[in-house]
Amino acid sequence: MTIKRNIWSLFYFVLMGGIFLFLVLSYSRYKDIEDDYHQKYRYFTGIISQSAHSRFAQDEFILEVLGIQLLTDKQYQDTMKTQKFFDDLLKKNPTLAGFGLVNTDGDFVSASSNVNLSKMPNLLKDSHTEESFKSALVSDKMVLGRTFYVAGMDEWVIMLYKSIRNTGGEVIGVLATGLILDHKNSFLNKMDLPDVSVFTIVKDFNAEGKMYRQFTNHADIELLTQEEVYDVPVPLEIYQAVGSNIKDKYGISMEDLKVSGETVSFELTDQWNRHLLMSLMFDETYQLWCLVQVDFSIVRETFMKSLVTYFFVFMLSFFIIFMLFKRIARLDKIKRDELLFQVMHDPLTQLPNRTYLYKHWEEMASHPSQNIDMLFIDLDNFKNINDGFGHRYGDAILVQVAQRLRSFFNEQSLVVRQGGDEFIILMPCHEENREQTLNKLIEFISQPYLIENIEFSIGLSIGTAQYPKDAQNIESLMSLADTAMFEAKKRKNVFCIFSSEMQSRNLRKVDIEHELRSGMKKDEFKMVYQPQINADGTVHGVEALIRWENARLGFVPPDQFISVAEDTGLMPKLGDFIIQRSLQEIYRLQSEMKMRFQLSINISVRQLIEIDFLDKLLNEIKICGLERSLITLEITENLFIEDIEDTLPLLMRIKEKGLGISLDDFGTGYSSLNILRRLPINELKIDKSFVDDILTVKEDSAMAKSIIEMGKNLSMHTLAEGVETIEQANLLREFDCDIFQGYYYSKPLSIDDLAKFFKAF
Ligand code: C2E
Ligand code: CA
Ligand code: CA
């Protein structure tokens, strides 16, 4: 979950970063485009200004040469000659509308033949010409006059004046010409400018403080009529607005700009509310402002065009990144699912494991109406297969068992491998046919398994507990089902349904375990001894038996607490006590009474499997001083159920050291004659259960008889325990039993009572 969230938050982080980058890039791109346009339009302005300048310089040169020619030999006085000059010159300069010579009073003296002199105004009197003509009279340079419609030439022209002076420097007259204002073919129109741009040439303030346009290209002529363009001065507000823009951007005044000759560019909103990009330059020679402007939207449009590309690239990258993330997230999910499966399942059988069980428990238990049966299954004798044939076979059987289990239960049930050869099943509880189901299950699972041509038979012990009747949570339910399984295990290949008695027994077990620990510290244990009598009536020996009187639980019989001690790991310690105490007490008694008799000590399997058991025992015997040949260890058959090969060497060593070995409770277990033959045993102890009914039940007496015969054959002596009556003793003696033990002779006695018993014997 967290990884998934992380991947997507990383994606959003990248997305945000990308958007930020996109915005920054777009912004810088916008600035670049804006700068480009500014630069471009400043460049245009320079070109236009340059080109206008050279055009006027060329015209000035023509007028200058013309003046010099007219002055030579005072030819200007000859009107016809002058006109011819004018006409010749006009042919060579078709962009000029005509030439004229004006006297200092402002009247035309002569003109090229195309000029209708009668329609030409007096230049000193006409408002279009008065101001510039006056300045031409005092200047020795060419002066630009206003642009206006000249009726005598029938053209819109830019008037140009140049005074001619005699050698004394006195003004003789003024040469005038008109540069045709042809918007289509004008010299200025040849510029390679984008059609959207407008350029305008404006003469700087005249003596009257007015500014008139000299020329503008066509682009925005629709907003003004031609008369308005050239006859109405440029509004002062525009000049001021431009001035303050330049001041803001460049920190210089218009006067500074005139002197510097630099090209500037800026943005401005004009009187028609158009947002414009403007570029401006001043030509000092002819006192001309050269202005180029373009609607600022061109910048935005250009930007939008590149933005579309940017946006497309951005979206594409993000689509790719998104797909990449999606793929990662998907792979991650697959991996997580796999991992989850691994965590939740057993790798060998692919069954859900305990982790899964816990996780799904809540789900199953969340249906309150639903009663659930838990089955705790343990395979019988599985260890033998594992040990005898190897784990390969063991694993193969587990896999097949798992398959059978899965096929046996429907999908409402959960089959879990709890570990080893243990399985747990949760299934809906149907009390009425539960036993039937369990029997069927046992039959189904215990059918033979064929693995690599070897047939295996396997049994199973099942314990069941019910939710919510027996337990409300999974842990206690498991422990109860396990307890029931343990019960079943005693008989094998059966099921056992958990009962409340089992529970109280269990509780008592817990109680016992708790008290055992403290009891051992508080010295609550003591030993008693039950005499064993030979067939001839002499004393053979005693069997040491432990007794426990607990402060809280009262007298606890050994059958109850020995198994608890075994299950909880307390047995070795308790065993040490038993050995030490009985060795000491019996040695003292034998020394005091100057008697020699056998001492039998019960040894639990748990003690026997301790590595140092024998060494410790021998050491204790040495310390106390009792003869080794007087000591017999009583062991039970269940020692051989699992692995005889492991215990045999130990038993051999015990025998080598001169200790006796007695096989306790003989006849109740599984020991075969074969095994018995290999064991280094001195004594067979006929179990009390055969002795009990030896007089009434035929099979029991037959059993007792054959055990005794078997013992004879294997040269072991036989001991009958639990002899309570003389009749039992007599019959056993008839069967040739060697030794007798039981209430008929004596109950187990404390060491003091044992001394009394022997004295009275
Ligand atoms: P076990 O080894 O078979 O001990 C014989 C049991 O039979 C003893 O019970 C004894 O008191 C009882 N018994 C002997 N003769 C008669 C008789 O004529 N009638 C009746 N009704 N019972 C008789 P106890 O002492 O209660 O011990 C029970 C079991 O507890 C023992 O069975 C043994 O397995 C275990 N146990 C007792 N003491 C020790 C011990 O010191 N070490 C170990 N490992 N186990 C012990
Ligand atoms: Ca015994
Ligand atoms: Ca016994």
DSSP secondary structure letters along 246-306: HHHHHS--HHHHHHH---EEEEEE-TT--EEEEEEEEETTTTEEEEEEEETHHHHHHHHHH
| Minimal-distance CA residue to ligand 1 atom 8 | 545
Confidence category of residue 75, pLDDT binned at 50, 70, 90: confident
Convert the pLDDT of each residue in 58-73 to its tens digit.
Answer: 999 999 999 998 888 8
Helices 571-593 + 613-624 axis angle, to 10 = 30
- Judge whether 156 and 180 are in contact, CB under 8 Å: yes
| Minimal-distance CA residue to ligand 1 atom 20 | 722
Q: Taking the model in full, what pTM does it have?
A: 0.52
Convert the pLDDT of each residue in 686-715 to its tens digit.
Answer: 999 999 999 999 999 999 999 999 999 999
Identity at 110, one-letter amino acid code: S
Neighbours of 553 (CB within 10 A): 18
Q: What is the mean pLDDT of residues 577-597?
A: 96
C-alpha pair distances (Å), 441 with each of 137, 349, 427, 461 = 133, 19, 13, 11
| Minimal-distance CA residue to ligand 1 atom 23 | 722
Closest CA to 266 of 285, 242, 283, 301: 242
CA 63 to chain centre: 88
| Minimal-distance CA residue to ligand 1 atom 42 | 602
Query: 5-9, 394-398, 678-682: which has the minimum mean pLDDT?
Result: 5-9
pLDDT of residue 393: 92
* Pocket probe mutation, ligand 1, options 545, 564, 609, max atoms within 8 Å of Cβ: 545
DSSP secondary structure letters along 42-109: HHHHHHHHHHHHHHHHHHHHHHHHHHHHHHGGGGGG-HHHHHHHHHHHHHH-TTEEEEEEE-TTS-EE
Q: How far apart are CA 535 and CA 436, in angstroms?
A: 53
Confidence category of residue 2, pLDDT binned at 50, 70, 90: low
Is the model's pLDDT at 272 over the cut of 70? yes
Confidence category of residue 503, pLDDT binned at 50, 70, 90: confident
Q: Which ligand is located closest to the Cα atom of residue 602?
A: 1
- Judge whether 339 and 347 are in contact, CB under 8 Å: no
Convert the pLDDT of each residue in 480-489 to its tens digit.
Answer: 999 899 989 9
pLDDT of residue 281: 95
Cis amide bond preceding 121, omega within 30:
no
Query: How many degrees, rounded to 5, is the angle at CA 490 between CA 489 and CA 495?
Result: 50
pLDDT of residue 79: 87
Q: Tell me which DSSP letter residue 122 carries.
A: P
The proportion of the chain whose per-residue pLDDT surpasses 90, expressed as a percent, equals 70
Convert the pLDDT of each residue in 606-617 to its tens digit.
Answer: 999 899 999 999
Confidence category of residue 168, pLDDT binned at 50, 70, 90: confident
pLDDT of residue 371: 87
Confidence category of residue 510, pLDDT binned at 50, 70, 90: confident
For residue 633, the CA-to-ligand 2 centroid distance in Å is 9
Dihedral of alpha carbons 188, 194, 195, 199, sign: negative
| Minimal-distance CA residue to ligand 1 atom 43 | 602
Dihedral of alpha carbons 611, 612, 618, 621, sign: negative
Dihedral of alpha carbons 540, 541, 545, 547, sign: positive
Convert the pLDDT of each residue in 204-262 to its tens digit.
Answer: 998 889 999 998 876 555 677 888 889 899 989 889 999 999 999 999 999 999 999 89
Is the model's pLDDT at 535 over the cut of 90? yes
CA 108 to chain centre: 97
Q: Which ligand is located closest to the Cα atom of residue 532?
A: 1
| Minimal-distance CA residue to ligand 1 atom 17 | 722
For residue 635, the CA-to-ligand 3 centroid distance in Å is 9
Name all residues whose Cβ lies below 6 A of ligand 1.
530, 544-546, 557-559, 562, 578, 602-604, 664-665, 688, 721-724, 741-743, 748
Q: How far apart are CA 52 and CA 201, in angstroms?
A: 9
pLDDT of residue 188: 60
Convert the pLDDT of each residue in 414-440 to its tens digit.
Answer: 999 998 999 999 999 888 999 999 999
For residue 524, the CA-to-ligand 1 centroid distance in Å is 18
Q: Which ligand is located closest to the Cα atom of residue 562?
A: 1
733-754: string of b/e by CB count within 10 Å (b at 16+)?
Answer: eebebbbbbbebbbebbebeeb
Convert the pLDDT of each residue in 354-391 to its tens digit.
Answer: 999 998 887 777 776 778 999 999 999 898 888 888 89
Atom number in ligand 1 closest to CA 528? 25
Atom number in ligand 1 closest to CA 685? 3
Q: Among the residues of 547-663, which ranges form H helices?
A: 558-567, 571-593, 605-608, 613-624, 644-656
Pairing of β 539-550 and β 525-534: antiparallel
Sheet of strand 198-203: strand arrangement = 213-216, 198-203, 288-295, 275-283, 264-269
Confidence category of residue 465, pLDDT binned at 50, 70, 90: very high
Q: Which two tokens stand for residue 141?
A: 């340079």
For residue 180, the CA-to-ligand 2 centroid distance in Å is 144
Mean pLDDT across the chain: 91
* Pocket probe mutation, ligand 1, options 561, 574, 583, 602, max atoms within 8 Å of Cβ: 602
pLDDT of residue 221: 56
Is the model's pLDDT at 627 over the cut of 90? yes
Q: How far apart are CA 241 and CA 253, in angstroms?
A: 12
Closest CA to 378 of 359, 405, 403, 356: 405
| Minimal-distance CA residue to ligand 1 atom 3 | 665
For residue 571, the CA-to-ligand 2 centroid distance in Å is 16
**DSSP 3-state percent helix, strand, coil across the chain (nearest 5):** 50, 20, 25
pLDDT of residue 672: 66
